[in-house]
Structure 1
Amino acid sequence: MGTVETMTMKEETAADLPIIDAHQHFWDLETNYYPWLCDPEPIPFRYGDYSALKRNYLPPDYRCDIGPNRVVGTVHMEAEWDRADPVAETRWLEGVAAAHGLPSALIGHAEPDRADIADVLAGHARSPLARGIRHKPAAAARPRDAIRGARGSMDDPRWRAGYALLEWHGFSYDLQTPWWHLDAAAELAADFPAIPVIVNHTGLPADRSAEALAGWRAALETVAARPNVALKISGLGLPGRPWTVAANGPVIRDAIAIFGTDRCLFASNYPVDRLAGPFTTIFDGFRAVVSDLPLAEQRKLFHDNALRIYRL
């Protein structure tokens, strides 16, 4: 584990397909500062109480959590490290990878509208593990409050000027935003077609009412029209409810129907999604939902798309 492997299709069954976990986190709270995990006052969190996450989580913990799943590589997603020095997280992760063989690649943090964005991107780019950045643009809390053009949003000219620098480094952009801002994401992707965009956590369909899911599907269809956009199927936990196929299967099937098997990828969001269910429960759920697909299509979702999109 820790290296990206390949197998011929005739050697594989659905149960032993290789996995590249396209979204996971490590943290060491004894040596590094993550405000949301280290500060005594909790932040508003979509899963509710997250106090169980306030302990170190490193590759040995992750390897314990994955159980029998054949994880052959991972992509580390920035974990809300101290925003004063986001490149320090990348430097720390290089040491983690050297010591433990994970992660296989990383996505750093950068605010496109910060004054030193060029320096931050250059700092990340010095790491051979770096593939891009994640940033959560300014967003409204509810669909009815969504407006276009807000400062710090994907429409903000200063934000876009910094975003444009990703192309120079060959970086992708991991976008975490509620689905009601995916119209702005579609325009962003159209205006910068050379920058791959990976929408995080399935577009955040937290409200599972019929009305909200209809809005979510329409938003996915809008952004899926841009060929440089992919969708990471992850982060589907619901507050106070266990991760089940009954709850999440319809969302997963709709997402794949809209984006297709060439542009969707499964990910654990561990250890955060430990609040929703065990790693094996989540990945067994993914397998169950797509069990009717040809094995080659399943392999894309679990492994091949992450291999290509994150250039492992």
Structure 2
Amino acid sequence: MTAMEANTDEGVIDAHHHVWDLSVRDQEWITGPEVAPLRRDFLLADLKPEARASGVTATVLVQTIDIPEETPEFLAVAADSDLVAGVVGWTDLTSPDVTRALAALRERPGGEYLVGIRHQVQGESDPRWLVRPDVLRGLAAVAEAGLVYDLVVRPHQLAAAHEAARLLPRLTFVLDHAGKPPIASGELRPWADAVRLLASLPNTVCKLSGMVTEADRDRWSVEDLRPYADTVLDAFGPRRLMFGSDWPVCRLAATYAEVIDAARELTAALQPAERREVFTRTALRTYGMTFTGSQAPQEAPCA
């Protein structure tokens, strides 16, 4: 299976998860008691049985830290896997050599699995980092390479995300974790207004992911998530919304099965074809992956 050949006969793609091996490299962001359960190795072998049990047949592996060594490792993981169909990696967008760096990633073993680029914008102190001239130049190179750009931003950075997407209409921007809404507080605005503005641009897509860890992690419910899920469903529509587990980060609040069951419940009112968009087709279309075999993907069952 390659990045262009996702096995989706079961109809579910997990468009957002991570892996890490602390013996290879530290994850410096895993500090403090709140995230202590994540301070261990999480490998693809750990995810695979959970994914298969939930009907997931293909995934997108997403970068975790902004260093050049990680992406080639993830490409090798994908090349050796029958589960990972695409990799969203990292490169220094501010580098004058970004075009060459992207080409070099594509030329590496497993380079065909590279489908997108991401930077930890949420950690940047400048709320307008995305529209710096050097960053915009790098984002334009991502578009030229035929890749998409995953946005990991906090609500106060959504305005810059909108501006960058408006300035670069040839680049598809994928909003990770619905822009990290303040679910625990129950507030909708100004997050909802900023999300709707971003969604007004046709080159934007959103992931129905990461919400359980933005809620009250000890006692969240599907109804706590619903106003935020309904907002992105209304703003982007099923054809621009895709499911992602955010495993293993989701384990701070829920099991893998609980996350996918919540997503199914949140989309239960959709028509079968619309659910296929959220759970399969949007990810395929956005990341440039296609079906294998003759069987069309089935609808994702509701919990």
Tell whether the structures are fold-level matches, with TM greater than 0.5: yes
Q: TM-score, normalised by structure 2?
A: 0.85
1:203 aligns to what? 179
Q: TM-score, normalised by structure 1?
A: 0.82
Moved over 6 A (4+): 138-141
1:302 aligns to what? 279
Measured in 1, the distance between the counterparts of 2:57 and 2:190 equals 36
1:233 aligns to what? 208
One of 130, 145, 155 as aligned partner of 1:169: 145
Measured in 2, the distance between the counterparts of 1:164 and 1:134 equals 13
Measured in 2, the distance between the counterparts of 1:232 and 1:287 equals 14
One of 257, 274, 291 as aligned partner of 2:234: 257
1:245 aligns to what? 222
Report sequence identity in percent.
29
One of 245, 270, 273 as aligned partner of 1:268: 245
Measured in 2, the distance between the counterparts of 1:170 and 1:287 equals 31
2:8 aligned with 1:32: no
2:36 aligned with 1:51: yes
Q: Once superposed, what is the RMSD of the aligned Cα atoms?
A: 2.4
1:19 aligns to what? 12
Q: Give the direction of change, closer, same or farther, for the CA distance of 1:52–1:226 in structure 2 (3 Å limit).
A: same
1:10 aligns to what? none
Measured in 2, the distance between the counterparts of 1:287 and 1:207 equals 19
- Structure 2 residues without counterparts, runs of 5 or longer: 290-303
2:199 aligned with 1:192: no
2:86 aligned with 1:105: yes
2:119 aligns to what? 135
Q: Which one is further off, 264-273 or 51-60?
A: 51-60
1:262 is paired with a residue of what secondary structure?
helix
2:121 is paired with a residue of what secondary structure?
coil
Measured in 1, the distance between the counterparts of 2:165 and 2:18 equals 26
Question: Which amino acid is the alignment partner of residue 135 of structure 1?
Answer: H
Q: Give the direction of change, closer, same or farther, for the CA distance of 1:239–1:168 in structure 2 (3 Å limit).
A: same
Q: Give the direction of change, closer, same or farther, for the CA distance of 1:281–1:243 in structure 2 (3 Å limit).
A: farther
Q: Which one is further off, 175-184 or 91-100?
A: 91-100
Q: Deviations over 1:84-118 (max 9, x none)?
A: xx2x3222223323333232110111232245433
Alignment of 1:35-114 (within 5 A): 35-37=28-30, 42=31, 49-66=34-51, 68-80=53-65, 83=67, 86=68, 88-114=69-95
Q: Give the direction of change, closer, same or farther, for the CA distance of 1:271–1:243 in structure 2 (3 Å limit).
A: farther
Question: Which amino acid is the alignment partner of residue 92 of structure 1?
Answer: E
The count of aligned residue pairs is: 282
Measured in 1, the distance between the counterparts of 2:193 and 2:51 equals 34
Question: Which amino acid is the alignment partner of residue 92 of structure 2?
Answer: E
Q: Deviations over 1:214-246 (max 9, x none)?
A: 211100111011000001111112354244212
2:6 aligns to what? 4
Question: Which amino acid is the alignment partner of residue 235 of structure 2?
Answer: I
Measured in 2, the distance between the counterparts of 1:114 and 1:138 equals 19
Q: Give the direction of change, closer, same or farther, for the CA distance of 1:130–1:243 in structure 2 (3 Å limit).
A: farther
CA contact (8 A) 1:65 1:278 kept: no
Measured in 1, the distance between the counterparts of 2:89 and 2:175 equals 15
